[in-house]
Amino acid sequence: MTAANVSPAEIARFDQLASRWWDPDGESRPLHDLNPVRTAYIAARAELRGARVADVGCGGGLLSESLARAGAHVTGIDLGEKVIDIARLHLHESNLQVDYRVQSSAELAAAEAASFDVVCCMELIEHVPDPAALVTDLAAMLKPGGRLFMSTINRTPAAFGAAILGAEYLLRMLPRGTHHYAQFLKPSELSRLLRGAGLELEDVSGLAYNPFRREARLSRLTAVNYVLCAQKPA
């Protein structure tokens, strides 16, 4: 993200959640429940031990720590200063090593182009004004042969019902205004952005989540949440 590719309101909203990021029963509860599934998806498609991994939009560090625990050398970036402070603080509890930075994707791509074996960008693209610019940054970070992993929300009536009406208004799992339907991307749209950045799509899978049972799993259905893997040609 360049300075123009970030919403100050979005940064402020997530900074407000920073102190409760690691509370598995707080507003970040869905991320806690989804994190093992996301981590397993990545580990099944990329060798993590010894790999250089960038976690773009890392927030308080849920995924970053999981990847570090799997043996990766992780750089986690976010433009929210408070969430990065929380991520750094949590390392004292986990005894893991993660290089957390208040840095944009454009800055990391320029400073460390073609440096990462794996780049992860989870639940971020639906919050930025210019998704194409973000994907271009992510692709630039990858080494040839490296893999990009992304997760986001589809733009469907089912996604509107689950992610906005359900999560924000009925169940109140997330603060109102967390998501904006017009910014959701269909898999076909995100696939076009990936191809435009020179990446080859390898997989798209649905992420099924039951908030009552707090169960998450991969699914063939991509109508709400989905995760994907793309590779930079060697």
Q: Are 73 and 98 in contact (CB under 8 A)?
A: no
CA distance 154 to 226: 7
Q: Model confidence at 1, in pLDDT bands (50, 70, 90)?
A: very low
Confidence of residue 6 (pLDDT cuts 50, 70, 90): confident
* Matching CATH number, 8-231, of 2.30.30.180, 1.10.10.410, 3.40.50.850, 3.40.50.150: 3.40.50.150
Q: Is the pLDDT of residue 7 over 80?
A: no
Res 145 pLDDT > 50: yes
Provide the residue ranges of all domains of the chain, joining segments of one domain with +: 8-231
Is residue 90 over pLDDT 90? Answer: yes
Instruction: Residue 148: name the closest of 166, 121, 111, 124 by CA.
Output: 121
pLDDT higher than threshold 60 for residue 215: yes
Instruction: Name residues whose C-beta falls within 8 Å of residue 66's C-beta, 6 or more positions apart in sequence.
Output: 35, 36, 39
190-228 burial, b at 16+ Cβ within 10 Å, e below that, comes to: bbebbeebebebeebbbbbbeeeeeebebbeebbbbbbb
Q: Average pLDDT in the 127-141 region?
A: 97
Contact 139, 148 (CB under 8 A): yes
Split at pLDDT 50, 70, 90, the class of 179 is confident
Dihedral sign of CA atoms 54, 56, 57, 63 in order: negative
Cβ atoms within 10 Å of 175's Cβ, excluding its own:
13
Model pTM score: 0.91
As a whole number, mean pLDDT of residues 98-126 equals 97
- Among candidates 231, 203, 195, 230, which has minimal Cα distance to 219? 203
Are 72 and 49 spatial neighbours (Cβ–Cβ below 8 Å)? yes
